[in-house]
Amino acid sequence: MVLRPATIKDVAARAGVSVASVSRVLNAQGVVGEDVRARVMEAVETLSYVPHSGARSLITRKTDTVGVILPDLFGEFFSELIRGMDLAAREKRLHLIVSSSHDDAEEASFAIKSMRGRVDGLIILSPHLDAAALAASMPRSLPVLLMNGGARDVDRPSITVDNHGGAEVMTRHLLAQGRRRVAHVAGPVGNLEAEARRAGYLAAMAEAGIEPVVLDGDFDQASGFRAGAAIAAMDIRPDAVFAGNDMMALGVLLALQEAGLRCPEDVAVGGFDDVPIASLVRPALTTMRIDIAETGRRALERLVSLIDAAGEAPINHEIVRPTLVARQSSNSSNSGNSGSKSALAQGG
Amino acid sequence: MVLRPATIKDVAARAGVSVASVSRVLNAQGVVGEDVRARVMEAVETLSYVPHSGARSLITRKTDTVGVILPDLFGEFFSELIRGMDLAAREKRLHLIVSSSHDDAEEASFAIKSMRGRVDGLIILSPHLDAAALAASMPRSLPVLLMNGGARDVDRPSITVDNHGGAEVMTRHLLAQGRRRVAHVAGPVGNLEAEARRAGYLAAMAEAGIEPVVLDGDFDQASGFRAGAAIAAMDIRPDAVFAGNDMMALGVLLALQEAGLRCPEDVAVGGFDDVPIASLVRPALTTMRIDIAETGRRALERLVSLIDAAGEAPINHEIVRPTLVARQSSNSSNSGNSGSKSALAQGG
DNA sequence: CTGTTAGCGCATTCAT
DNA sequence: ATGAATGCGCTAACAG
């Protein structure tokens, strides 16, 4: 039942030409006569021939494929990111192999190894992976773009978000709203992004000379909910919460609501990432915006240029600076629905 | 700078054995002496050798890779789905090539063609693709699992959601809450899933002998918002809305809220999919639940069995029946916070 | 148990 | 402008 797919030989035979001519037609190499081209095309069509990518890559030493290693956390952030990468990959006619759900460095290393030889380059987002683990699992010959939290310390090109700076901006913003007891819900321990955000928060609090309050979280909504409930129950209750990411901020929001506290009146809330849903909840969530899809696209494009440069490119570390998006959840001039209508009317 | 990666020959040379032995060790084929195995492993290690997947697939006729074609719509539904597939793929030691953002049949066809030859099988989710387009872009020799809306009509194995039945259940549920004027916000025209849901709604309304009201939407939050605003402004205002998916339902929820209407008191709302956020908004959203990640995992596993069966498998159409999850947004016995705490405490 | 060898499908010299 | 021949890295069949 499963017919052997047509090979270049079959095409050549049917077109009455040599395999070399078929190859030339298909790759637009050299010059080919009009009649030959036509016959080849006809044969390709009727045999529905498609070149064997393996055989081709054996010779060209390219796979036209790039790999993406993602952490366990999924949700809106990563799907947006992949979307951006996918769009860029399509334009460059590249394929995208994804491998997600790696919850520790070992798994991520394994995934990296298993992709070697089948991709031309790799984009790695594994907040658990440090320089040592990375070096161990990758040959220098494979172009790699890091999007890890602590990538700046590593001898590899990278794109990273300025988590520390962003956290400072957010914390200062909450303080500027007149809030004093600003608490922080931290991301998972060992996650470099989470730690940078926490550090930024601590720096801003120290700067303001206010005692910090840090609660544990893991970047998931549920942990934000628990932290929010804990905050609501505190004797000396914080009047603002900076959650390590938007999903936790949403959890905080709900917990506050269920505890009968109003946001922003009683407690202001800020998040990080600006995932699509952030502008769609009520109160709309103040957050640090990262243009996620665009960052994904940039990442892919940089990886491509690394591949093209064949190791001759300088190793530089690009930094994406998140921008503050002040919405309702941190609004101190009380009242209403600011901006929500327009945001949605323009198309979520 | 870019060293040629080590080949099997390099390994053989360093280990002082033949390439055949190296191959045997690596593939656990045949029997190999302990000393040889050790020397090979040592050489593999120090040369950090990794087999060239192209060369291997040339001879084994397998790529150990499966492709996934996704539509333009992204967001939580598809990221969950991919997550499920990815998990299953890892267990089976397969790689996953994804190609998303196809907003029409032509683009999807192109993506399908471009994957031929580099995957062992394909999972296709393209609600725009009909039988004809599909047949045109795929050779019978490639195992394919369809997850399109109208896949039951096609001569290919499939997994589909019972959209029609689910829509009936939801519509009847809203009617059973004592609602009479139940409106429907439809998904994009030409999308088979959307059309099945609309048809299910119409059927249930006809059954109840009530005049249907259908508003246009495109599965995006913003379109739900617009529809919600329109509903709020109607002279004879509906007392319930069944949105074609959860994201539109969220939009409806917000529009109602901004219009000063209460949900569920004034207008009940139901969605479809049960994306993670559905249980986390307030009022929590009543919806038709599909275990998305599990469905993704099933899909991948079925594709694998199709591949293993090498065309000898019967073509069957599996149907996933969504189940009603009645939450606050459709609750007629008014009042509160039902169930929200437990849902979150258990881990969003 | 191990080595030799053919050939997978293709791009690419080198001839013509 | 076209064809014949070579070899990419690997597995498998065959020898030994």
* pLDDT per residue as tens digits for the range A317-336: 999 999 999 999 998 764 44
Q: Is the peptide bond before B264 cis (omega within 30 degrees of 0)?
A: yes
Contacts of A300 (CB under 8 A, 6+ apart): A66, A84, A85, A88, A89, A92, A94, A123
Mean pLDDT, rounded, for B305-312 = 85
Whether A86 contacts B100, CB under 8 Å: yes
* pLDDT per residue as tens digits for the range B143-167: 999 887 666 667 788 999 999 999 9
Q: Do B340 and A258 touch (CB under 8 A)?
A: yes
| Residue among A1, A11, A53 with most chain B CBs within 10 A, to mutate | A53
**CB-to-strand C under 7 Å, chain A 23-42:** 23-24, 26-27, 29
Least confident of A135-144, A261-270, A325-334: A135-144
Contacts of A16 (CB under 8 A, 6+ apart): A39
- Nearest nucleotide to A56 (CA to C1') is C10
- Residue A243, strand partner residues: A185
CA/C1' separation B12–C12 (Å)? 27
Chain D: nucleotides below 7 Å from protein CB are: 1-5, 7-13
In the predicted model, is pLDDT for residue B254 greater than 80?
yes
pLDDT recorded at residue A346 = 37
Task: Tell me the H-state helices in A116-212.
Answer: 131-137, 163-176, 192-208
Q: Which two tokens stand for residue B331?
A: 């609750």
In the predicted model, is pLDDT for residue B17 greater than 60?
yes
Give A276's contacts in chain B (Cβ within 8 Å). Answer: 75, 221
The alpha carbon dihedral of B75, B76, B79, B82 has a sign of negative
pLDDT band at A151 (very low <50, low <70, confident <90, very high): low
* pLDDT per residue as tens digits for the range A31-51: 788 888 989 999 999 988 989
In the predicted model, is pLDDT for residue A105 greater than 80?
no
Alpha-carbon dihedral A135, A140, A142, A145, rounded to 10 degrees: 60
Mean pLDDT, rounded, for A84-92 = 93
Most confident of A332-336, B27-31, B193-197: B193-197
Give the strand order in the sheet containing B213-215.
B213-215, B182-185, B240-243, B268-270
Domains defined for chain A, CATH in brackets: 8-60 (1.10.260.40), 65-161+292-319 (3.40.50.2300), 163-291+324-347 (3.40.50.2300)
Residue A224 φ then ψ, to 5°: -65, -40
Give A344's contacts in chain B (Cβ within 8 Å). Answer: 221-222, 225, 251, 254-255
Q: Which two tokens stand for residue B198?
A: 């609309």
Q: Please state, in angstroms and rounded to a whole number, the distance separating the CA atoms of residues A197 and A243.
A: 9
Q: Quote the strand ranges of B207-327, DSSP E.
A: 213-215, 240-243, 268-270, 287-289, 317-320, 323-325
pLDDT band at A208 (very low <50, low <70, confident <90, very high): very high
pLDDT band at B348 (very low <50, low <70, confident <90, very high): very low
- Residue A161, strand partner residues: A320
pLDDT band at B73 (very low <50, low <70, confident <90, very high): low
Give A251's contacts in chain B (Cβ within 8 Å). Answer: 280, 344, 348
Give the chain B residue nearest A217 (alpha carbons): B347
Higher pLDDT among residues B138 and A318, named by residue? A318
β-bridge pairing B95-102 and A95-102? antiparallel
In the predicted model, is pLDDT for residue B134 greater than 80?
no
Task: Please state the three-class secondary structure of B19-33 as a single string.
Answer: HHHHHHHHHCCCCCC
Q: Quick one: which H or E segment has residue B248?
A: helix B246-258
